[in-house]
Amino acid sequence: MARVTLKGSERTELPGSHLVGPADPNARLEVSVVVRRRAREALQSRVSKLTRGDRSAGNLSREDFARLHSADAGDLAAVRAFATVHGLTVTEEHADRRTVILSGTVQQFNAAFGIELKQYTHPECTYRGRTGVIQLPAELDGVVEAVLGLDNRPQAKPHFRARQGKSSQGKKHSTAVSYSPMQVATAYGFPTGTGEGQCVAIIELGGGFKPADLTTYFSGLKVGSPTVAAVSVDHATNAPTGSANGPDGEVMLDIEVVGAVAPAAKIVVYFAPNTDAGFLDAVTTAAHDTTNKPSVISISWGGAESNWTSQAMTAMDSAFQAAATMGITVCVASGDNGSSDGLTGDHVDFPASSPHALGCGGTSLQASGSSITSEVVWNDGSGGGASGGGVSTFFTAPSWQEGNKATKATGGAAALSMRGVPDVAGNADPETGYDVRIDGTNTVIGGTSAVAPLWAGLIARINQNQVTPVGFLNATLYGHPQSLRDITQGDNGDFQASKGWDACTGLGSPNGAALSQSL
């Protein structure tokens, strides 16, 4: 059988891993196969207009998108035939999401894709992995765009930071403070509204929420209790761990920030496994959900671009493009480890680095009511966290970032030829953090994980008063920088805040009234 290499499927060991041996040949797993979409040129034309700020084509309904751009029936049939040849079972098939989920054993997948799955240990986890590339039969060349889930290493980390009980290492302020999400919204001048009629999707890759905690939290805020529902993706469920320092902290922070800012919006939490397949499947499930129909997706998980395969990043970016054409805004946290993203050298976090996502960076906010007395880049030193940001090594600079420069902390500025991160910012410093409730305990949390849901809640408020959702808004924001509060002080390690866009806080934090007018 003639085989071809699946473009972008190259995988290496997770740094610091130790090879244990071959994976159990009889162990069962599920793999997501992503196929090409129909009418790709027409879709790209529509996306190109959106990225230029041209909304004349309007938003596609989910039903129209599926009719025009779902997977071709012949391509899906070709994947089914491939599965049959190798004894694999098709457990799910989603034409609108272009995804076929196959089930089988390690031995069967090894033979089907020309790989050798192995077992690894790592200081933070054990995982099933592979190295090298994936091989496809020649008849699937160009049909299949990604094969995800063979490797089940944790793909992303949550971007929240609990307060450590001491003042900032950056010495930006001498006394720690905290705010309710509504107080932050007031400081930023959010337009009036409750998010009524909107649905906000939240992507979670672990942990869970306890309804009793949400009831207690929102009753204390006296904003009413929002409707919160959970959707299972790839067998993951709402599963609280009971530890505020674990993924529950992420889940509760996201829900409580969105729910406080937009209490009349419906909140739907999509729980998925923390793998490349799970992450993508959660996003596509939310984007194509014809029942809940979210107009905003909030994502507070991510990982350095260097930890992703290019096939996975391309597939996720394609999912965000689809969301944009359906009028869905995707807000993504830019990370909590400054310019390094927790590695050596400069790295940006994905999926915040997707040009079709709104990358959300972090600030340290001092405010009283609607008066902001100080706002600088969040940077609490090497042990305390800082706003993620920098320049992508994978995505080229989109047209709306033309003319912007990344200013280095050591001096000098370089024009962007690759995608700059983030686009916008908001309060993220744990020392000026958010009052939340997690697993029965009231605490204070920060991180860019709080900024993505803050922006999601803001957009839900704005959408409430729009005929159609604002959808992809990056081009509009870059064309109306007065809609944001420019942050010009501080750094995130290797990058310095500057007038206009910078690789620490993007265009800045919300200027609510001006932002609402611009959109």
User: Of 295, 364, 449, 516, which is the active-site residue?
Assistant: 449
Per-residue tokens: 266:
């419906």
Report helix, strand or coil for 371. strand
Q: Mark residue 448 as left, alpha or beta (left: phi above 0; alpha: psi -120 to 50; beta: remaining).
A: alpha
**Radius of gyration (C-alpha) of the chain in whole angstroms:** 22
Q: Is 113 exposed, middle or buried, given 0-12, 13-18 or 19+ CB atoms closer than 10 A? A: buried
Determine the Cα–Cα distance for residues 310 and 456; give it in Å rounded to an integer.
27
Is 254 an active-site residue? yes
Q: Please state, as a whole number, how many other Cβ atoms lie within 10 Å of the Cβ of residue 220.
A: 12
Per-residue tokens: 4:
């071809």
In degrees, rounded to 5, the angle at the alpha carbon of residue 512 between the alpha carbons of residues 509 and 516 is 120
Determine the Cα–Cα distance for residues 461 and 190; give it in Å rounded to an integer.
8
Q: Which residues on adjacent β-strands are paired with residue 377?
A: 363
Q: Is 310 exposed, middle or buried, given 0-12, 13-18 or 19+ CB atoms closer than 10 A? A: middle
User: Of 250, 349, 375, 380, which is the active-site residue?
Assistant: 250
Determine the Cα–Cα distance for residues 253 and 398; give it in Å rounded to an integer.
31
Report helix, strand or coil for 417. coil
**388 contacts 348 by C-beta, under 8 angstroms:** yes
In degrees, rounded to 5, the angle at the alpha carbon of residue 439 between the alpha carbons of residues 380 and 195 is 80
Determine the Cα–Cα distance for residues 221 and 258; give it in Å rounded to an integer.
13
Is 250 an active-site residue? yes
Q: Please state, as a whole number, how many other Cβ atoms lie within 10 Å of the Cβ of residue 182.
A: 17
User: Of 234, 254, 336, 435, which is the active-site residue?
Assistant: 254
Q: Which residues are catalytic?
A: 250, 254, 449
